Chain A
């Protein structure tokens, strides 16, 4: 019984870490996606400077997602990683290119366009692969005994491509609203105008994925359409509509912060929707949270420190954001 409770707490912590990753690195990757939208060097510089001091911290949540899964749900880690072999490796390679671009592009003149492309291309590949990984998880992973039993192209389906595009569009929206919040002048207006079509695209893709998901698996269908869970599940789409309205209204009023927060709310709601579909599985359709969990000794040992360290991490992360708050001053240059 205790085992179930501990694994349940841990599922919450891992889900929380992944959600924080999406919230933080989503806009960060989005900035990369929007990089080619301006050719002006000064504008590109402020775009990159708006995330330069924080991108590394943002990406650390991805390491926690992977490392945490390894620590407390080793079986899920052992099944998911081989199943998503290609998209994960491609995502890692994408993250390499965009990560080094932050420093490299200042170090060379001749190759600067190349690293600008790497920043964009790496962000695109990473975003798309994260979406594909999500889709591949939702559509389910074939397990036999304690190992992945599918082929190495199973992740590639029309559905996973759709989720790949959806996540990419969503990250671009997060990026555009982040830049609307952090920048000034022409580039801010440009990003705000880009946020409109991106918002529409994100909502359309969200709707498509949401409508398709229940038909991937009878369990999902029942979860969303059967009485009485349907009543509760209906709340999520309602809140999505509310967030969408708030975002578009904010863009219309040329508000700085509101569109960004509402775009993030969309992601949080989408994430909750996925959580509702998955529960009690950690790897659909057959591996449950309790089955995948490490022994209680492992869960307990890791939990004690996590409960101390996680609040600390959240507070100094918040502090780092606070230090670099406000509009980016193009003249300051962060040295």
Chain B
């Protein structure tokens, strides 16, 4: 089935596949963990039942999403070694300790307090339960911090030397952790995670508002999500712009690919809105472009010269088409999010936030767009780093493990089959949970007492009762 492909391309596809699946879950759980902490805090502060109901509702969804994140994440921590062992040997002394810190300061924190957050409110009391919930949220953010530092170091390496064995060796840990692209990437990703969650919460709120505009829980979550969207999307666009300028400084070839600039423009580069990259002829076919706008955006000067890929040796060029397209998808979705947020803000001003079926429908439609934008953004930055694993220093082709192509092919097929099946099922369950309305927690407790099972039992699940005739 995969005969004729080299071990390198198979290993690249495998890593791209498993990490793309994986990033979907943290992108959701980083935002959701913070959302849960806020909901729980609001419940403890205001004692408004809606907050507790919402907390219990989203907690169950979080449990499923987090579980998928954990198991797909364990794969990542081993796959670097199984498929990229030369990279591991060479870059391990620098990025390894950062990843160890991620495990020690984030994974354990999340895992240790997750059980208490999900199952322990009655056992430990409200105060400690709040503490545990906050620590889970903190853990997700700490995890993002470390892993983005690692990724950023691979994009913009700093603070290292190279020893006789060809290994990268640390010289200045501060420079390594806070390498040039790290702050931008971290802010951009955390905001992306928050937006992704807001879009999902907004979609669920919108869906329930379409059924019942008076539903208090649906109103609350829709309102919170739309606030988030209108406040954070502009911040995100600004952060993304800053990140882009940082990339221009440190990885100009990536920006050339993003912009589709095959040729240098000595007196002002155009902004190519759309077009079809032609790798053979090294040009963008059917380009629709705005003259000089790219120079204005990137250099804040209409006539500033911008180099093109013609200044980059062929063997150092990233694949242009993928980067070009994924970047445009991300940008388009970003502006769509801004549009949704502004529309909701307008509706709120007019006092019609909960009485706007078209708005609710759009919010529902845009529920998954955060995930798409996150994936598109990561594809842009990761494919744009090619053909290197450590930018400019270690080529992808020199990072590969000595594993035979058939073994990589077999494991790739296994991953594809298992991931689509397992995570497809999980997504199905999550959507099924989202389709159920938010119930009152008193009702829910009674039901749980009747059923007496389920770690984070879903409400309205007649299943378990039917499964146990004769019990109770």
Contact = CB atoms under 8 A, between A and B. Distances in A.
Interface string A58-73: 0110111011111110
B97 interface: yes
Contact of A77 (B68, B70, B92, B454): B92
Interface string A274-314: 00000000000000000000110110011001100110010
A305 B108 contact: no
Contact of B93 (A68, A74, A108): A74
A49 B170 CA distance: 45
A58 to B, nearest CB: 8
Contacts of A88: 78, 82
Given A56-B115, A81-B401, A49 B99 contact: no
Given A41-B468, A52-B455, A309-B105, A146 B81 contact: no
Interface stretch (B117-125, B239-247, B318-326): B117-125
B94 interface: yes
A332 B448 CA distance: 8
A78 B81 contact: yes
B77 A66 contact: yes
Contacts of B163: 295
Interface stretch (A31-39, A261-269, A315-323): A315-323
B interface bracket (residues with beta carbon within 8 Å of A): 35 or more
Nearest to B470: A42
Interface in B66-116: 66-68, 70-75, 77-82, 85-86, 88-94, 96-97, 99-105, 107-116
Contacts of A63: 73-74, 77, 103, 107
A107 B71 CA distance: 18
B404 A302 contact: no
Interface stretch (B352-360, B364-372, B425-433): B425-433
B133 to A, nearest CB: 14
B453 interface: yes
Interface in A73-94: 74-75, 77-82, 85-86, 88-89, 92-93
B418 interface: yes
Interface in B443-469: 444-445, 448-449, 451-458, 461, 463-464, 466-468
A70 B170 contact: no
A52 B105 CA distance: 22
A324 B100 contact: no
A106 interface: yes
A59 B74 contact: yes
B403 interface: yes
A120 interface: no
A147 B456 contact: no
Given A100-B71, A108-B463, A298 B96 contact: yes
A19 B4 CA distance: 42
B411 interface: yes
A301 B92 CA distance: 13
A82 B463 CA distance: 44
B167 A295 contact: yes
Contacts of A82: 81-82, 85, 401-403
Contacts of A149: 402
Contact of B99 (A53, A57, A67, A151): A67
B433 A89 contact: no
B101 A95 contact: no
Place the interface of chain A in its size category. Answer: 35 or more
B471 interface: yes
From B404, B452, B453, name the one whose CB has the most chain A CB atoms within 10 angstroms: B453
Contacts of B418: 93, 96-97
Interface string B405-419: 011000100110010
Most B C-beta atoms less than 10 A away, residue of A52, A56, A323, A330: A56
A62 B74 contact: yes
B63 interface: yes
A104 interface: yes
B54 to A, nearest CB: 16
Contacts of A330: 452-453
B302 interface: no
Contacts of A224: none
A184 to B, nearest CB: 14
A215 interface: no
Contacts of A148: 85, 401-402
A44 to B, nearest CB: 9
Interface string A99-133: 11011101111011000000000000000000000
B393 interface: no
Contacts of B115: 52-54, 56-57, 320, 323-324
Contacts of A228: none
B171 interface: yes
Contacts of B442: none
A64 B66 CA distance: 18
A149 B403 CA distance: 10
A107 to B, nearest CB: 4
Most buried by B among A71, A103, A309, A335: A335
Given A81-B81, A295-B167, A302-B97, A89 B411 contact: yes
A103 B422 contact: no
Given A146-B89, A323-B116, A107 B104 contact: no
A329 B399 CA distance: 52
Contacts of A108: 429, 463
Contacts of A151: 404
A112 B425 CA distance: 12
A45 B66 CA distance: 21
B413 to A, nearest CB: 11
A82 B105 CA distance: 28
B100 A67 contact: yes
B100 A75 contact: no
Contacts of A298: 92-94, 96-97, 169-170
15 contacts: A56-B110, A57-B111, A57-B112, A62-B74, A69-B81, A74-B88, A74-B93, A85-B82, A96-B75, A96-B418, A97-B418, A103-B426, A104-B429, A298-B92, A330-B452
Interface of B: 63-64, 66-68, 70-75, 77-82, 85-86, 88-94, 96-97, 99-105, 107-116, 118-120, 123-124, 163, 165, 167, 169-171, 173, 401-404, 406-407, 411, 414-415, 418, 422, 425-426, 429, 432-433, 444-445, 448-449, 451-458, 461, 463-464, 466-468, 471
